[in-house]
Structure 1
């Protein structure tokens, strides 16, 4: 293999540049690579004959080949992202996997306004997806940072049908704005956002597309992130008391769309109220939907635009609560779905406390 600089700078990261026998100039010629006792197709000739020749590498096309051929042996396999059923006792193992300094939140910021302050929700994550053959990344889901390697979201976002999560953005507040500063203090600014590639992702093995039962998933980052003021983990409801906690109000945050379907640029928040389970089930029955046993409902008050109805899938819902002796922000729900009208029925959330054991059983160091 010849380096790119020695190949007349005609190659890029998706191209193999090899020395060539000038007498062999077949268009479409295949190059094979050996790994152990197995041979793999590495690329095919794409350019000129002579001393050097360029081959298109196949790595970038594997997802396209997989989608077209449906070959089972091309399916991605990663032990760290294969969901398992084993669920250890959650409250015993929790602090072994998650930082105790999670959920840093200033209590007096809870009330007032829909615009979130910079640093207010440092666990917010935007999940980016790349369509096959495109370099454009689309923010289709949200999530929350739970430790240095994992983001929690819904199963539908983690499974990524039809596209897998490609990258996660952390520390964001106002999308497409170079520097995020608090409105009341222009000198109180956050460091730049952090984009981290996705190593792999997994949705709950029991996820039901119809009822959205077990609608929870994990995204494993390609590297551990360093916590900063604008990048912090949220707490999980991993104590017996928190697992039984049912609060009258919660806070939901995200960059979804408002009732006119306009995407919000700045991070928003809203206080939402718990909805009686029977009432919520009755309302969704009108749409032919049956709520799953691991779901609960919440809605914004009259005159508020806080429901997570458009584009907020995967957004965290939580509130400050007692966490090992201190008041910290705990995530109790993950935005799963809502109605198209925003006001026609409450938003539905996956109950995180039901799945703490699954989370612990499926994360790796």
Structure 2
């Protein structure tokens, strides 16, 4: 969305003021969370057109009814931003984790065409198939974390009898090469789906498939990606990230089974879940011995009355959390038993625990 359209959205939603609370600006200044209407620094910058859209988005600290609240400091643009990764191999927080669907209000509950642009659909070849004549089978998912790498689970990197061969990006409806949707009288069409060959598979060295521990892997793609509204990276939870807490709502997506009664999704799902404590999670798994829950895991349960579930075919999918309209990846769909989340919690690989390993294995 262009800056002017975004500003129109904000100004139409300025209706009231509220008591200021402390916050930190995108430049780590201590400030107050106030109505945009009362933040003269940002208003002056907007009027002079000298501030960036990303700075405004990261300055958002909530809403009071329909009133947009911003963390109102003394600066109007990014200053002395430190890179989050060595050699700049992963996107920094100025552009990762944003999705175009968050730029405007919408009435539909279904997944929008620009939601979850970091989602990768992973194609496999049966080891028993002919090398040149085979049918692609889409068994897993992953998340775009850089211009060459997809993050996924280790059980998706080496499933028995299959080899991962391709990452399909920018998909929405799996039956279409290009998707068009109508919302509020406007037709929006995505770019054609793009596919990239997987040239290297990197599995965490201490992955244990029997106990489902250290369930994380990287796919290196054969070409450099270029980002748009339909393909872009998710942020990783580096220091300075506002981490999810027990009780927070986490979101995931995919084209796996909708639930135990319905087959695979045709359109990208939107699955809403709640983060629970590892202690509660362990209690629910105490009578089984296969799945281990430790400090390298996060557990979630799906919200009541939720139609969609994280289910068969969603392994490797990113589980994400939003702060100031910017998303970062909390976990990777890793393990669970019974009923697509209806019986037991889903156990995720906690991405924060593997940041050093990711950094060590990312190459230009």
Distance change >3 Å, CA 309–CA 281, structure 1 → 2: farther
2:197 corresponds to 1:197: yes
Distance change >3 Å, CA 129–CA 203, structure 1 → 2: same
User: Is the Cα contact below 8 Å between 1:153 and 1:218 reproduced in 2?
Assistant: yes
Question: How big is the shift at 1:165?
Answer: 1.0
How far apart, in 2, do the equivalents of 1:203 and 1:98 lie? Answer: 19
> Aligned residue for 2:158?
159
How far apart, in 2, do the equivalents of 1:284 and 1:299 lie? Answer: 13
How far apart, in 2, do the equivalents of 1:114 and 1:340 lie? Answer: 27
What are the within-5 Å matches in structure 2 for residues 30-179 of structure 1? Answer: 93=85, 96-100=88-92, 101-105=95-99, 106-107=101-102, 115-132=110-127, 133-134=129-130, 135-179=134-178
How far apart, in 1, do the equivalents of 2:173 and 2:337 lie? Answer: 26
Distance change >3 Å, CA 195–CA 209, structure 1 → 2: same
User: Is the Cα contact below 8 Å between 1:307 and 1:347 reproduced in 2?
Assistant: no
Distance change >3 Å, CA 279–CA 136, structure 1 → 2: same
> Aligned residue for 1:340?
338
Question: How big is the shift at 1:99?
Answer: 1.4
User: Is the Cα contact below 8 Å between 1:295 and 1:348 reproduced in 2?
Assistant: yes
Is the partner of 1:192 in helix, strand or coil? Answer: coil
Question: How big is the shift at 1:111?
Answer: 9.2
> Aligned residue for 1:300?
302
Is the partner of 1:157 in helix, strand or coil? Answer: helix
How far apart, in 1, do the equivalents of 2:104 and 2:318 lie? Answer: 17
Is the partner of 2:162 in helix, strand or coil? Answer: coil
Quick check: which has more Rg, 1 or 2? Answer: 1
> Aligned residue for 2:272?
271
Distance change >3 Å, CA 353–CA 95, structure 1 → 2: farther
How far apart, in 1, do the equivalents of 2:204 and 2:312 lie? Answer: 23
Is the partner of 1:262 in helix, strand or coil? Answer: strand
Distance change >3 Å, CA 187–CA 110, structure 1 → 2: closer
Runs of 4+, deviation exceeding 6 Å: 108-113
How far apart, in 2, do the equivalents of 1:355 and 1:269 lie? Answer: 26
User: Is the Cα contact below 8 Å between 1:130 and 1:166 reproduced in 2?
Assistant: yes
Question: How big is the shift at 1:92?
Answer: 5.4
User: Is the Cα contact below 8 Å between 1:91 and 1:239 reproduced in 2?
Assistant: no
User: Is the Cα contact below 8 Å between 2:117 and 2:229 reproduced in 1?
Assistant: yes
Is the partner of 1:103 in helix, strand or coil? Answer: coil
How far apart, in 2, do the equivalents of 1:182 and 1:253 lie? Answer: 19
User: Is the Cα contact below 8 Å between 1:94 and 1:238 reproduced in 2?
Assistant: no
The aligned length equals 271
CA RMSD of aligned residues (A): 2.4
2:253 corresponds to 1:253: yes
Distance change >3 Å, CA 111–CA 182, structure 1 → 2: closer
User: Is the Cα contact below 8 Å between 1:181 and 1:188 reproduced in 2?
Assistant: yes
Task: Write the deviation string for residues 40-66 of structure 1: whole angstroms up to 9, x where unpaired.
Answer: xxxxxxxxxxxxxxxxxxxxxxxxxxx
> Aligned residue for 1:285?
286
Distance change >3 Å, CA 274–CA 108, structure 1 → 2: farther
Q: Structure 1 regions of 5+ residues with no counterpart?
A: 1-89
Question: How big is the shift at 1:178?
Answer: 3.3
Is the partner of 1:268 in helix, strand or coil? Answer: coil
Is the partner of 2:113 in helix, strand or coil? Answer: coil
Distance change >3 Å, CA 112–CA 317, structure 1 → 2: farther
User: Is the Cα contact below 8 Å between 1:310 and 1:340 reproduced in 2?
Assistant: no
